[in-house]
């Protein structure tokens, strides 16, 4: 059924596509691949596995070469596809060119780009070190924007392809005590929806997935594991998020909120005024004060 719905979506998504022979010639001899950033663990790894299960070749991008190589080998063995690890810091200015070179060396071109790499930051905004804020923006905003802008023109010229951005349910409202993280994900959602409108009908899927809490090491890494939301808000597994994101992407949805809880919360956050949502979310995100 998903394959059928995907084929129907293809017809609608490509209704005005005008593939360029030159663009297709540029990737002659290469095979299409799904490129996933932040693919060594968590949602990125689960998305790589889900695309591979559907028969797609995958290129796994992250900084940890050892973890990437292990995950790529596991995916290739389990799903009989080509899985190539690419150790790369996507925040570097030359990352798009370096990624292209690595893909061509592997015999790939980027048919689908999954911007999953990201980081969080918890605590009062005024207490964050400026370099921490810069690092978050460089990864969550600048790298995603740069890679998307680099990849999209060739996809439009070929009349096929896609970009799947991983945001957060938090991007739909202000997030006191995770202010920069929530703002970065609001940017990702807004950018994705705007681009989706611009390229409508030209053969390229543009989607954003906005999950709520997910059971990975993400929350602990950002220092938010003891915040109230980790107890009160049900968390999904990375595999459940990946399955929902993949389904939504295939059928041509632009915004995907995995699970019933995220779907209901997404609607509620749209309806609630900020003077209600901000203190409510702030209460959920605030970390308990530790004794001095």
Catalytic residues: 181
Angstrom distance (rounded) from CA 147 to CA 114: 10
Helices (H), the chain: 2-13, 21-26, 42-53, 65-79, 95-105, 130-137, 144-158, 179-198, 218-221, 229-232, 238-250, 259-271, 274-285
Residue with tokens 């003891």: 226
The Cα 48–Cα 59 span in angstroms is 8
Cα–Cα dist 145/147, whole Å: 6
Task: Please give the angle made by the CA atoms of 238, 166 and 246, to the nearest 5 degrees.
Answer: 60
Query: Positive or negative, the Cα torsion across 139, 41, 54, 84?
Result: positive
Structure tokens at 255: 């915004």
DSSP run (H or E) holding 204: strand 204-209
> Would the CA dihedral through 134, 135, 141, 143 be positive or negative?
positive
Q: By C-alpha distance, which of 161, 162, 180, 159 is closest to 170?
A: 180
Q: Which of 42, 177, 201 is nearest to 114 (CA)?
A: 42
- Note the residue count of the chain: 292
Are the CB atoms for 259 and 212 separated by under 8 Å? Answer: yes
Cross-strand pairs, 113: 35, 163
């Amino acid at each position: 059924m998903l394959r059928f719905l995907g084929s129907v979506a293809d017809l609608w998504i490509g209704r005005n596509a005008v593939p360029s022979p030159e663009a297709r010639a540029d990737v002659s001899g290469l095979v299409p691949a799904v490129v996933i950033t932040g693919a060594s663990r968590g949602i990125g790894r689960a998305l790589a596995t889900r695309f591979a299960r559907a028969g797609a070749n995958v290129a796994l991008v992250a900084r940890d070469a050892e973890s990437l190589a292990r995950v790529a080998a596991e995916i290739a063995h389990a799903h009989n596809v080509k899985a190539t690890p690419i150790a790369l810091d996507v925040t570097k200015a030359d990352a798009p060119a370096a990624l292209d070179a690595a893909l061509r060396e592997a015999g790939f071109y980027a048919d689908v780009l999954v911007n999953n790499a990201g980081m969080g930051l918890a605590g009062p905004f005024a207490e964050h070190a400026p370099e921490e804020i810069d690092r978050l923006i460089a990864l969550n905003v600048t790298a995603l924007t740069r890679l998307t802008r680099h990849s999209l023109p060739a996809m439009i010229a070929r009349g096929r392809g896609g970009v799947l951005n991983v945001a957060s349910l938090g991007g739909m409202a202000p997030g006191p005590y995770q202010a920069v993280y929530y703002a970065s994900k609001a940017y990702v959602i807004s950018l994705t929806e705007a681009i989706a409108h611009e390229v409508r009908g030209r053969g390229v899927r543009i989607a954003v997935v906005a999950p709520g809490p997910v059971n990975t090491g993400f929350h602990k890494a950002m220092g938010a594991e003891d915040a109230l939301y980790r107890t009160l808000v049900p968390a999904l597994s990375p595999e459940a998020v990946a399955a929902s994101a993949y389904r939504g992407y295939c059928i041509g949805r632009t915004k995907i909120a995995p699970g019933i809880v995220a779907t209901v919360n997404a609607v509620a956050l749209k309806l609630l005024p900020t003077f209600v949502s901000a203190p409510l979310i702030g209460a959920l995100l605030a970390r308990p004060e530790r004794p001095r």
